[in-house]
Amino acid sequence: MTEVEPLLVCTTSSKGRGVFARRSWQVGDLVISARVTALAAERTTHSFQTSINTHCEFDEPARLVNHSCDPNLGIRDNEFGAFDFIALRAIADREELTWDYATSEYHSIAVPECHCGTAVCRRTIPGYKYLTRTQRSRLTHIAGYLADY
Ligand SMILES: [Zn+2]
């Protein structure tokens, strides 16, 4: 029996490496369950913020999933102190997996200029702190700690 790896890491045209689906998912499906590989002393362009004072490195493929302002994945805190990545809509085979970095980062330095190309692109992704009340109200999946901010 051959088990097909459901994710594929490859190089994108404009964003470096990215993670692509090798199967389809339905809304609400768990797509990636990340693990913490190290604590980061401070915020980096590849760290994940899991509390107002905690920045972590996650394992692959989670650490390679690119940002989109209209993503197909959302995050929720998981039992490993990292995030689970959940399908926000149906995801097709070969589709690039994306999530919104502002849903974990209170202040983000990872995407100075966004190239997600979606109709709702915010152009810059400075973090949750800078989202308007309306933008925040559209987010269904955010890091648990952000509920206090
Ligand atoms: Zn964008």
Please list all protein residues whose beta carbon sits less than 5 angstroms from ligand 1, which is an ion.
Answer: 69, 114, 116, 121
Q: Average of pLDDT values for 74-86?
A: 97
Span from the CA of 59 to the centroid of ligand 1 (angstroms): 24
Where is pLDDT greater, at 67 or 3? 67
CB 46 within 8 A of CB 101: no
Q: Average of pLDDT values for 31-58?
A: 95
CB 124 within 8 A of CB 116: no
- Other C-beta atoms closer than 10 Å to the C-beta of 28 total 10
pLDDT for residue 3 is more than 80: no
Q: How confident is the model at residue 2 (pLDDT cuts 50, 70, 90)?
A: very low
State residue 1's pLDDT score. 40
Span from the CA of 83 to the centroid of ligand 1 (angstroms): 21
Span from the CA of 15 to the centroid of ligand 1 (angstroms): 12
Span from the CA of 73 to the centroid of ligand 1 (angstroms): 14
- Other C-beta atoms closer than 10 Å to the C-beta of 120 total 10
Number of H helices and E strands in the chain, helices first, is: 1, 10
Span from the CA of 147 to the centroid of ligand 1 (angstroms): 23
pLDDT single digits (tens) 99-131? 999 999 999 998 889 989 999 999 999 999 999
Q: How confident is the model at residue 5 (pLDDT cuts 50, 70, 90)?
A: low
Cα(119)–Cα(117) distance, integer angstroms:
7
Question: What's the CATH number of domain 7-142, 2.40.420.20, 2.170.270.10, 3.90.1170.50, 2.115.10.20?
Answer: 2.170.270.10
Span from the CA of 125 to the centroid of ligand 1 (angstroms): 8
